[in-house]
Chain A
C-alpha cells in the first residue's frame, strides 16, 4: 500500500479529504454551544462518550488493523485506566490531569507486562491469552471491595481541570475530550505512515520475512501493544470522569468484543475505520433502542451484511483503490 493511499482520508478526491476532518472538528467543537441553546444536552453527552470510545477503538485499530494482533482483552486496559482514576480519587487526588496521566502510565505498564507474555503466542492463542488476562483484571476489580467490588465506585466530586473549572462543566469537559480525541486520531494517522507503522503492517503481512529482514519483530509488537494499552487506559480514565462512576463491567470481555466489532465494522487498518465504526455502531444502537428492546438483533444483522457487502469495512467503501 502506498503512502498516498494511507494519507488519503475517506473520500477519494484529495480536496475533500483535506478539509473534511477540519470541518468535522469545527462542527464538533460547536456542538456544546448549539446543544445548550437547543436543549440537547443529552446528545452532547452522547457524543462525548462516543469520542471517548473512539480513542479506545483507534488504539485497538492500531494493533489489530495495522499490527495484525487480534487482541480480545482491550477493555481490560480501559478498566485499568478507569480504576487508576478511582484509586487516586479515593486517595484524595483531585486534579484531572494527574489522574488521567497516571491512568495512561499504569495501563501502559499493565499492557507492557501482559504484552510481554501474550506476544510470545500468535493467532487464536494470542486471542485467548489476552482474553484470559482481561478476565483476570475483571475478577480483580470485582474483588476490590475497597472500590465497591461488583457494585462499582461513584466519583462524587468532579475532577479539577485547572483555573477553577472542573469536569462538571459539561461543555468544557466536552472540548477537552474532543481535543484529546483529535490528538490521538492525528497521532495514530501519522504513526500509521511512519517507519513504525510500515514496520507493523509488514509484520502483519509477513512476520517471518520481517524477522529475516532484520526487524526486531517482538519488540516492535510489544511497543505497539504497550502504546495501545496506554491509550485505552486514557479512554478508560475519561470514561470514568464522563460517567462519574466505574464498575467491573467496564472491562467485561463483551466490552472487548464490542470494541473489536466496531473496529471491524469501520474498517481494519484504515485511518477512519475505528472512528467510523464507533460512530455507526453507537448511533445505530442509540436509535434502535428507541424502537425496540431487541436492538441487538438488527445490529447483528447489519454487521453480517457489512461483512459480506463490505469486507474491508465501511471505510473501505470510500476507497476507489482496490489495494489495501
Chain B
C-alpha cells in the first residue's frame, strides 16, 4: 500500500486552475520527484498537500489516515512536514533557537508558561541532534538571517525534520544554490530517505535524476506523465514541454 495518496486535487485562483485534478502517490522509502516548468503549479500542490492552502476538491491520505479536512498543524502531527521554496526560518533568532522552536512543537505542550524553556535539557538535546543531522552543529549560536543562503536552506530542512515526518515535502531545496551547496543538499536528501519518504520538487535535473525513484511531470496544473527516471527521460511529450531545453545525460 502506498504511504501517501493524493487524489483529484483541485485548486482554482479565480479563473486559473492552478491544480487540475492531480493524483499522486508516494511509496514508503521512496523519493518521488515532481518537475515542471515555472508556474506549472508545483508549489501550489505542496501548499494543498501541507494544508497551508485549502483545496477546492480532492483527498489526501497519509499512512491510512485521511488528512483532507485537517488543519496544516494537525497534518504535521500526523507525519507530513514541509520546507519552503523561499527559505522560511526565524531570521532574527540563533540557529539553536530556531531548532529549539521546531523541537518544542513535537515534545509536550506549548501552552506551558511557568517554566523557563532554557531549563529543558531534553529539548536542547533534540535540537543538537537535529543540528548534527544536517551539519549545523558549528553554527548554533549564529543568527539565522546572517548565514549564507546554503546554510539557511539546511536549517529550513532541519526545521521540517523536527516533526519526525513520514513524508517530507521539499519545495526546490536547491533553489538559488551554487554547485557545491547543491551537491551537499543532494547528499543530505540521500541520507534523509532512510527516515522519511520524500516528495521532491526540483528544477535541477542532475539532482532529480540522482535522487528520484519516480518522477511526475506537472504542466498547467495537470500531471503530464509519471514513471521511473528512464521512462520520463524518453517520454516525448515531456521532452517537448520541459526537458527540451535541458541537457540530458
Give the B-binding residues of A (Cβ under 8 A): 1-3, 7, 187, 190-191, 193-199, 202, 205-206, 208-217, 220, 223, 323-324
* Known A205-B90, A208-B88, A212-B52: A3·B117 in contact at CB below 8 Å: yes
With beta carbons under 8 angstroms apart, the residue of B77, B97, B104 that contacts A1 is B97
Q: Is B162 an interface residue (CB 8 A)?
A: yes
Task: Say yes or no: A194 contacts B101, CB within 8 Å.
Answer: no
What separation, in Å, do the CA atoms of A52 and B91 have in the docked complex? 36
Smallest beta-carbon distance B123→chain A, Å:
9
Smallest beta-carbon distance A319→chain B, Å:
14
Q: Is B245 an interface residue (CB 8 A)?
A: no
Smallest beta-carbon distance B80→chain A, Å:
10
| Chain B 99-147 interface residues, beta-carbon cutoff 8 Å to A | 100-102, 104-106, 108-118, 120, 143
Give the A-binding residues of B (Cβ under 8 A): 50, 52, 71-73, 76-77, 81-82, 84, 88-94, 96-97, 100-102, 104-106, 108-118, 120, 143, 159-160, 162-163
Task: Say yes or no: B104 contacts A199, CB within 8 Å.
Answer: yes
Q: What chain A residues lie within 8 Å of B97 (beta carbons)?
A: 1-2, 198
Task: Say yes or no: A323 contacts B117, CB within 8 Å.
Answer: no
* Known A191-B113, A213-B159, A214-B163: A202·B76 in contact at CB below 8 Å: no
What separation, in Å, do the CA atoms of A174 and B81 have in the docked complex? 53
Residue from B88, B90, B97 with most neighbouring chain A CB atoms (10 Å): B90
Q: What chain A residues lie within 8 Å of B163 (beta carbons)?
A: 213-214
What separation, in Å, do the CA atoms of A196 and B160 have in the docked complex? 20
Task: Say yes or no: B113 contacts A212, CB within 8 Å.
Answer: no
Smallest beta-carbon distance B33→chain A, Å:
21
What separation, in Å, do the CA atoms of A217 and B72 have in the docked complex? 10
Task: Say yes or no: A212 contacts B76, CB within 8 Å.
Answer: yes
* Known A195-B104, A212-B52, A212-B72: A205·B118 in contact at CB below 8 Å: no
Task: Say yes or no: B115 contacts A194, CB within 8 Å.
Answer: yes
What separation, in Å, do the CA atoms of A215 and B106 have in the docked complex? 9
